[in-house]
């Protein structure tokens, strides 16, 4: 893809071969995230709006200031920082302090993205790295999940459904329907499978996502958590694992975000991410595992690419006989 100046930038995956610009793709992602964004305001209140705006502003500003200081080409108009900001805010609970979101945004853009060469060159998803930083520095501040406003009673703090599963508590107060529409405690943007899937459908329609990668990620997680469940083999709760955490947000909007490679390799990476996510959910200390699964797969993209030689365009694959 080319910028206005004509300078060639690195390929931006997930996004299939395209003859339109990064800016349009990123705008599409932002548009696709809008239903879940509105949902987060509905479920968790105005705090969601404030956190998302804070993260977006911090991301865009830090990219702008960094590129101004370094006298680099300004890519801030390509909307990618906006996407990072929204995804970052989507990955924290609504009780997260504003300053923490600001710190994570600056870290995501400057350290994770710009230090490694800007858009397309970053080794891992900046938004997830921002969240990982918060989880490491201030675990208490970003683990205070609350119930939604949906039920009409005041929000109270509550562990997430997966957190309850991990600690062995009953989760019967949350129906599968609640999980599907998003009426469960969790991070801003992850709770409503319905609204996320609507956005994802838009991206599919616009052909800017790698459906194969997203679905292989989800299927891997579901398969492994089903086979190796806490209650024994083949007893995992598929729907709860699918609907109650950040799996759909991760699969639709982060698994397929930057820092990846050819579509075929993306599927391999998605499966690796799925295995790690499922492993964390079953045997790890953390209940969720989506962000670490994707981040680790991000880091493994280089070596995967070395092992699996990319198909060279114009050359037929050898048929096995």
Partner 1 sequence: MKDNRLKGIIALAVVTVLAFGIIYGSKILVKDEANNQKDVGQNDENLPGSIDVSGAEGIVSAREITDDAGNITAYSVVAEATGFATKPVTMEVVFENDAKTIKELKVVSHAETPGYGQKMEEESFLNQFKGISAPIYLRGKAPVADTSNQDVTAPTQEGYQDGIYRVEADEVDNKGYLYMLTIKVEEGKITSLVFDSMNREGEYKSYLSTVGEYVMTDDGPTWKEQADALANYVLEKQSIDGLTVDENGKTDVVSGVSISINNFLDLAKKALQMAKTGEGAESTGSDEAGYVDGDSGEVGEIDGISGATVTSNAIIKLVNNAYDFISDYAK
Judged by the rule CB under 8 A, the positions of this chain that interact with partner 1 are: 20, 24, 28, 31-32, 34-35, 38-39, 42, 150-152, 169-170, 172, 177, 181-183, 192, 194-195, 198-199, 201-202, 205-206
CA 70 to chain centroid, in Å, comes to 29
CB of 130 to partner 1, least distance (A): 27
- Considering beta carbons, is residue 198 or 223 the nearer one to partner 1? 198
- Considering beta carbons, is residue 103 or 194 the nearer one to partner 1? 194
- Considering beta carbons, is residue 201 or 307 the nearer one to partner 1? 201
CB of 54 to partner 1, least distance (A): 24
Which neighbouring-strand residues pair with 8? 2
Q: Which residues contact 280 (CB under 8 A, 6 or more apart)?
A: 286, 288, 289, 292, 293
Q: For residue 37, what are the CA distances in angstroms to 34, 49, 53, 124, 256?
A: 5, 8, 11, 23, 19
CB of 139 to partner 1, least distance (A): 17
CB of 96 to partner 1, least distance (A): 23
Phi then psi for 94, rounded to 5 degrees? -70, -10
Q: How would you class 17 by CB atoms within 10 Å of its CB: exposed for 0-12, middle for 13-18, buried for 19 or more?
A: exposed
Estimate the crossing angle of helix 263-283 against helix 211-227, to 10 degrees.
Answer: 30
CB of 168 to partner 1, least distance (A): 9
- Considering beta carbons, is residue 42 or 116 the nearer one to partner 1? 42
- Considering beta carbons, is residue 121 or 149 the nearer one to partner 1? 149
Sign of CA dihedral 155, 157, 159, 160: positive
């Amino acid at each position: 893809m080319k910028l206005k100046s004509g300078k060639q930038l690195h390929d931006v995956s997930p996004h299939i071969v395209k003859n339109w610009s990064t800016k349009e793709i990123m705008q599409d992602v932002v548009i696709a995230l809008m239903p879940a964004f509105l949902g987060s305001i509905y479920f968790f209140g105005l705090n969601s709006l404030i956190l998302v705006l804070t993260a977006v502003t911090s991301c865009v500003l830090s990219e702008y200031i960094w590129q101004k200081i370094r006298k680099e080409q300004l890519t801030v108009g390509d909307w990618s920082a906006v996407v990072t900001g929204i995804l970052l805010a989507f990955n924290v609970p609504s009780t997260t302090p504003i300053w923490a979101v600001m710190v994570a945004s600056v870290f995501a853009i400057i350290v994770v993205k710009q230090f490694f060469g800007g858009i397309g060159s970053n080794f891992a998803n900046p938004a997830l790295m921002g969240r990982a930083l918060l989880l490491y520095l201030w675990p208490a501040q970003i683990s205070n999940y609350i119930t939604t406003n949906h039920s009409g009673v005041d929000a109270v703090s509550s562990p997430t459904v997966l957190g309850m599963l991990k600690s062995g508590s009953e989760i019967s107060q949350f129906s599968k329907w609640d999980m599907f529409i998003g009426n469960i405690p969790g991070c801003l943007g992850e709770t409503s499978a319905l609204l996320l899937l609507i956005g994802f459908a838009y991206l599919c329609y616009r052909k800017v996502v790698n459906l194969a990668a997203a679905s292989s990620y989800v299927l891997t997680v579901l398969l492994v958590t089903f086979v190796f469940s806490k209650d024994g083999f083949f007893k995992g709760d598929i729907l709860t694992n699918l609907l109650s955490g950040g799996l759909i947000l991760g699969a639709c909007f982060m698994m397929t975000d930057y820092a990846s490679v050819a579509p075929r390799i993306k599927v391999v990476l998605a499966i690796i991410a799925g295995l790690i996510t499922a492993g964390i959910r079953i045997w790890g200390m953390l209940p969720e595992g989506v962000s670490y699964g994707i981040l680790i797969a991000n880091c493994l993209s280089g070596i995967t690419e070395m092992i699996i030689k990319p198909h060279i365009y114009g050359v037929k694959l050898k048929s096995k006989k």
